[in-house]
Amino acid sequence: MPKIVDHEERREEVVEAARRIILREGIEAATTRAIAREAGYSNGVLTHYFADKDDIMLSALRSSHRRIVERLRGKLAGLTGLAALRELLLDNLPLDEERVAESGLEVGFWSRSMTSPALLEAQRAEADELRYLVRSLLGSAAAEGEVVTGEDLDDVAERLLALVDGLSVHRLLYPGRLGPERLARMLDTELGRLRPTGA
């Protein structure tokens, strides 16, 4: 009797193999040959399930984003306003090994996205979702009086996201200079500027 192949499971194995290589050795090391070897398959198997290397890369990026969203659901449960915003932004900072790896994967995709329209579109879609969430939480915090600023909240959202991106890159490049406690403190200082005087 012929062996029954679970196609979705096999695709996931290839995606996870790509993700492991990217996290371990960087995006440039994730060649189709290396991915096939890591997954324990031939190159032919990869071409059967994916259109090209960018298709694999895109699937790996989406897989990483799904993991982050699942983790965030638990962290944000029951939180609103500024507390939810703080938790969301902290989760996007590389404060532990898992998030250092995720940040490394994300940053690794930035340069590749510049030459891949599909990856760039996926990156922008994910960034738009994060920006929407940050802006929504800022709006609800302002409505509750937790945030008081004369600045446009769209600008505040952009600044907070830029701070998270910048701190993440600096943490990856200079881990001895920017530890988790310092990253969290710098984010809290920025959020503190939005609170009402005396809060």
pLDDT, one tens digit per residue, over 16-53 is 999 889 888 888 888 999 999 999 988 888 888 888 88
* pTM beyond 0.75: yes
Q: Identify the pLDDT of residue 35.
A: 93
What DSSP string describes the chain?
A: -PPPP-HHHHHHHHHHHHHHHHHHH-GGG--HHHHHHHHT--HHHHHHH-SSHHHHHHHHHHHHHHHHHHHHHHHHTT--HHHHHHHHHHHTS--SHHHHHHHHHHHHHHHHHTT-HHHHHHHHHHHHHHHHHHHHHHHHHHHTTS---SS-HHHHHHHHHHHHHHHHHHHHH-TTTS-HHHHHHHHHHHHHTTSPTT-
The low-confidence residues of the chain, meaning pLDDT below 70, are 1-5, 198-199
Q: What is the pLDDT of residues 154-164, one digit of tens each?
A: 999 999 999 99
